[in-house]
Amino acid sequence: MQRENPIPQTLVAAVAAVRAGNCSPVTLVKEALECVARFRDLNTIAFLDADRALAEARVLEREVRDGHIRGPLHGVPITVKDLFNVRGMPTIAGTNAPLSPIEPDEAVAVAKLREAGAIILAKTNMQEIALGLNGENPWTGDVKNPYDPARQAGGSSSGSAAATAIGIGYGSLGSDTAGSIRLPASFCGAVGFKPSFGAVSLEGALALIPSCDHAGPITRTVADAAAMFAALSARNSLLHTLEEFSSSAPRFVVPRAYMVGALTPDVRAAFEAFVAHLQAAGASVADVTLDIGNAGEAFLPLRAESVMVHRHTLETQPEAFAPGVREALMRGYEFSAVQYLEAKQRQGEMRAAIHRALQDADALLMPAAPCVAPPRGTVEINLESGAKNLRLAILHLTAPAAFAGVPALSLPFAQCDGLPVGVQVITPFGEDERALRIGAWIERALAE
């Protein structure tokens, strides 16, 4: 059946079409539900209430006809990672283990999306309790990569990234403790934004490491990420300034010494070609020292916070966690109070080091992943420096921004053998709008 108007491909376009009366929220939800059915084998969805989503869409459609627009996401279907409470939907967090009560019964971030007019379509599958980076889960099944189902989708916001990439909603609410928004966005060809620590509320969500947990959007474009972030953070002025960067092109810095041997050869070649493209578009790019040591190791003592989150289950039903997750949680018991406090001190030092690197620049650039999505089950990859544990190789790139709590945007910058890879745009703490504006500039430069 031929439609009068084509289905909008981006969140921003969908909002505009709904407001203009050119597209119905009901049509958008039905299209998303068709995608759920079409891509069921990718295992992106943890819980779906199609009837409820359609009922909400009909209400929002009537409101448009009556001239009432709730907010900047009116009538647009969105998914939510299954560690955020959504009223009327269970929170399983990808685990068989019992979870401590999470209050309130609807996460503050989800409530903000509803207030902005979004339709909560479904909850997405994830790595167990958000602890992991490959998207593989023995309890709920692996989320599969939309570019190649034999490959990893990335974790832990695996279902959120894959669902967004294939059209199940126009964006998803994810979480990022050490890379869990940016990595799956990179592997799945989506845009992922980890804002400054605390910029988006995590009240009503299952914690992993509370002092490093972040909430943020996964979308198809930077403008879409800005629209979701504006709703999540109540920074609506951002929507009017995204296109206004400055009369001059951005000044970028690249921590090449930090990245020596840290990438696969194909990602290295793609990244250097990308940097050259930015320079040809007018941007300045300089090398910079990123003196932060081993971010992945510095991060480890904070695992003690994960023990506190799941302490009751670890002490009473440890077997309820998958073996790898249980082992990772139990390591949290190994650190002393001094080591924990040293790690907390390192957080501030790392933020200061990133700020020093950005002193004469608008943003710091480095890949969001050392490789394209590897085959599912992969635990080791071959970097320029030789064989490396996949998790550690990823954390080398993603952990610094999470540990320091600074904004980091991942957007697709290249494909290697048909598989996407993302670049991180890192800015100082509190400069979330800057990261998004520069991301929009990069997106435009790549399109030229």
Peptide bond into 77 cis (omega under 30): no
pLDDT over 90 at 67, yes or no? yes
Distances, alpha carbon 327 to alpha carbons 59, 302, 320, 334, 337, in Å: 47, 15, 12, 11, 20
Structural domain includes residue 1: no
Q: Strands 251-254 and 284-287: what pairing?
A: parallel
**Domain limits at 361?**
9-448
- Residue 81 annotated among the catalytic residues of the structure: yes
State the alpha helices, DSSP H only, in 208-264: 222-233, 238-241
Band of pLDDT at residue 326, cut at 50, 70 and 90: very high
Q: What is the DSSP letter of 89?
A: B
CB 43 within 8 A of CB 135: no
242: its two tokens: 């995204």
Task: Judge whether 358 and 428 are in contact, CB under 8 Å.
Answer: yes
Nearest of 59, 55, 72 to residue 19 by alpha carbon: 72
Backbone torsions φ then ψ of 24, nearest 5 degrees: -95, 145
Per-residue pLDDT, 294:
87
Report the run of H or E that residue 345 belongs to, with start and end: helix 337-357
Q: Is residue 285 part of a domain?
A: yes
Closest CA to 77 of 106, 118, 17, 108: 118
Q: Which of 24, 81, 123, 410 is catalytic?
A: 81
Span 195-245, pLDDT tens digits: 999 999 999 999 999 999 999 999 999 999 999 999 999 765 555 555 554
Q: Which pairing describes strands 363-367 and 284-287: parallel, antiparallel, or unpaired? A: unpaired
* Active-site hit among 24, 123, 144, 156: 156
pLDDT at 299: 84
Instruction: Compute the average pLDDT of residues 401-417.
Output: 98
Q: If you average pLDDT over residues 382-392, what whole number do you get?
A: 97
Residues in the chain: 448
The mean per-residue pLDDT over the stretch 10-15 comes to 97
For the chain, the average pLDDT equals 95
Q: How confident is the model at residue 295 (pLDDT cuts 50, 70, 90)?
A: confident
Report the domain count for the chain.
Answer: 1
CB 72 within 8 A of CB 185: no
pLDDT of the residue at 298: 86
Give tens-digit pLDDT for 77-120: 999 999 999 999 999 999 999 999 999 999 999 999 999 999 99
- The active-site residue, picked from 157, 158, 180, 410, is 180
Listed in sequence order, the DSSP H helices in 234-316 are 238-241, 265-280, 295-299, 303-316
112 counts as catalytic: no
Give the strand pairing for 408-416 and 284-287.
unpaired
Residue in this structure with the two tokens 């090449």, named with its chain if needed:
256
Residue 280 pLDDT exceeds 80: yes
Other C-beta atoms closer than 10 Å to the C-beta of 10 total 16
Of the candidates 370, 392, 399, the residue with the CA atom closest to the CA atom of residue 299: 399
pLDDT confidence of residue 297: 86
Residue 402 sits in a domain whose CATH number is: 3.90.1300.10
In a domain, 3, yes or no: no
Answer yes or no: are the C-beta atoms of 157 and 181 closer than 8 Å: yes
What pLDDT, on a 0 to 100 scale, did the predictor assign at position 244?
52
Determine the pLDDT at residue 7: 95
Q: Is residue 349 part of a domain?
A: yes
Chain segment 351-373, per-residue pLDDT in tens: 999 999 999 999 999 999 999 99
Highest mean pLDDT pick, 138-147, 228-237, 295-304: 138-147
User: What mean pLDDT is predicted for residues 404-426?
Assistant: 98
Res 360: pLDDT: 95
Q: Which amino acid is at 272?
A: E
Q: Does 100 participate in catalysis according to the annotation?
A: no
Share of the chain above pLDDT 90, in %: 93
